[in-house]
Amino acid sequence: MEPHDAVQAEILRAVGVLGSERVRAADARGRVTAASVVAGEDVPPFANSAMDGYALRAADTAGAHPDSPVHLAVSGALAAGRAPTVAVAAGHAIRIMTGAPIPEGADAVVMVEHTDSPGRPVEGATEVAVHRPARVGDHIRPAAGDLARGDEALAPGTWLRPAHLGVLASLAVTEVEVHRRPRVAVMSTGDELRDDHGPLAPGQIRDSNRPMLCALVAEAGGVPEDLGHAPDDEAEVVARLERATSDCDAVITSGGVSVGDYDVVKAVLDRMGVLRWWQIAIKPAKPLAFGMLGAVPVFGLPGNPVSSHVSFELFARPALLHMGGHRRIHRLAVEAVAGEAFRRRPDGRIHFVRVALEQSPGGAVARSAGGQGSNVLSAMAGADGLAVLPDGPGVDEGGRLVVLLLDGPPA
């Protein structure tokens, strides 16, 4: 059996990063930058107040104390969005609101809470009492304090989240160069599957893998193309794979990669392209087929639904993220306390146990999400992560576990 990390590495060496396209910045959430975004202007463009209060000269507040405040003349007011028209002279202050430009002559802002107007500045006041001394620079946001013209605002390979879109807006960037999202054909195989809502005939089961895998592809930043369900017929599988490789960047199949008499996917891929198939030292998801049909990678995942999900997580998902330009391609791993004993027998494999996580004062606590059979998809649906159990007897209650989170960003 092959170590799973060696298989991951081989697959990643085989797949390349897709090209780029320009998209509207407003539509770029979840995409990955293909080039640097350089600031074309300063952010903020001018020094401004971080607080509601009074703009003044710090030296004029020396010795201020609640019992003996410094009194300054108020020579005006300045709201956000207004340009200063009056300079701050010695012994004077200007009422200022958060975000308003710092007027000439001022080198500090005193919070309104440290004056005799603790709620809000008094309308029309001609004098203010300052109860604490100010230091030069207090509560002033300097021009270019966030980004200066010429700074690299976003590096290539940045996974764009909502805050990044805010950064782009702050720089008036309306379009951004991003990697293409991989188009991924998804096909399930097996005569036993039914994908409509009618009654099941004897021996039939409903096709749960294809909807699940399409959703997993979308979660990984890909664009799923549903190829439907193919029967165990080599000619039909060949026709669908040829159609998929003509206009998709990757193909994912489920079922037909084991060693049964009717497992046709492996046989078809053997004839159509360069194929590797592995028995991987993990449980579940032991069988995996991977090959290249021309330049298109094909992942042959096992048919049991939990095995298909775990196999996608470990092998297809990192590859799709890599194709989409992501620099971080693996799930985030966290340490958790075992809320129950996780027993297993030594068998030469790493076991991935579906667990639910709870937060406690001592950190995350992991408990089984339910039945661990490779067909028990309901436990996978209730899982927050996959607990990694190395080969051996398992982990006692209270022991430490490494858990691969099934939600959230890549690691």
The tokens of 211 are what? Answer: 């909807």
Q: Are residues 31 and 166 in the same domain?
A: yes
pLDDT of residue 263: 64
Residues 6+ apart with CB under 8 A from 166: none
Burial 258-292 (b: 16+ CB within 10 A, else e): beeeebbbbebbeebbebbbbebbbbbbbbbbbbb
Domain assignment present for residue 411? The answer is: no
Average pLDDT over residues 157-166: 97
- Residue 69, φ and ψ in degrees, nearest 5: -65, 160
Domain assignment present for residue 328? The answer is: no
267, pLDDT greater than 80: no
pLDDT of residue 201: 78
Give the Cα separation of 195 and 206 in Å (integer). 6
Closest CA to 229 of 245, 218, 216, 213: 213
Residue 302 Cα distances to 46, 309, 328, angstroms: 59, 9, 26
124, pLDDT greater than 70: no
pLDDT of residue 409: 60
Boundary residue ending a domain (323, 350, 378) = 323
Quick check: 25 and 160 in contact, CB under 8 A?
Answer: no
Residues 6+ apart with CB under 8 A from 68: none
pLDDT of residue 194: 72
121, pLDDT greater than 70: no
Q: How many CA atoms within 13 Å lie on the side-chain side of 7?
A: 26
The tokens of 235 are what? Answer: 């000619």
pLDDT of residue 234: 83
Burial 113-148 (b: 16+ CB within 10 A, else e): ebbbbeeebeeeeeebebbbbbeeebbbbebbebbe
Q: Are residues 314 and 349 in the same domain?
A: no
Give the Cα separation of 217 and 15 in Å (integer). 16
Q: Domain of 348: which CATH number?
A: 2.40.340.10
Give the Cα separation of 214 and 331 in Å (integer). 18
Quick check: 324 and 181 in contact, CB under 8 A?
Answer: yes
Q: Domain of 288: which CATH number?
A: 3.40.980.10
CA angle, 326 then 181 then 221, to 5°: 65
For the chain, give the number of residues.
411
Domain assignment present for residue 102? The answer is: yes
How confident is the model over 57-71, as pLDDT tens digits?
A: 999 999 999 999 999
- Residue 104, φ and ψ in degrees, nearest 5: -60, 140
How confident is the model over 200-246, as pLDDT tens digits?
A: 878 887 888 999 999 999 999 999 999 988 887 888 888 888 889 99
Q: Are residues 126 and 97 in the same domain?
A: yes
Q: Are residues 308 and 387 in the same domain?
A: no
Which range of residues forms the domain containing residue 160? 20-44+145-179
Q: Are residues 164 and 259 in the same domain?
A: no
How confident is the model over 364-390, as pLDDT tens digits?
A: 999 999 999 999 999 999 999 999 999
Per the structure, how many domains does the chain have?
4
Residues 6+ apart with CB under 8 A from 235: none
Domain assignment present for residue 410? The answer is: no
Q: Is the pTM of this model over 0.95?
A: no
| Span of 44-48, 62-66, 120-124, 321-325 with lowest mean pLDDT | 120-124
Confidence label for 261 from pLDDT (cuts 50, 70 and 90): very low
Give the Cα separation of 271 and 267 in Å (integer). 7
Give the Cα separation of 299 and 296 in Å (integer). 10
Indicate the pairing of strand 333-338 with strand 363-368: parallel
Domain assignment present for residue 110? The answer is: yes
Give the Cα separation of 324 and 18 in Å (integer). 6
Q: Are residues 40 and 160 in the same domain?
A: yes
Quick check: 395 and 339 in contact, CB under 8 A?
Answer: no
Average pLDDT over residues 26-48: 97
How confident is the model over 62-96, as pLDDT tens digits?
A: 999 999 999 999 999 999 999 999 999 999 999 99
Average pLDDT over residues 277-283: 94
| Span of 224-228, 259-263, 339-343, 375-379 with lowest mean pLDDT | 259-263
Q: Are residues 162 and 40 in the same domain?
A: yes
255, pLDDT greater than 70: yes
Q: How high is the mean pLDDT of the chain? A: 92
| Span of 25-39, 256-270, 349-363 with lowest mean pLDDT | 256-270
Q: Are residues 88 and 236 in the same domain?
A: no
Quick check: 260 and 247 in contact, CB under 8 A?
Answer: no
Quick check: 222 and 184 in contact, CB under 8 A?
Answer: yes
Q: Are residues 175 and 106 in the same domain?
A: no
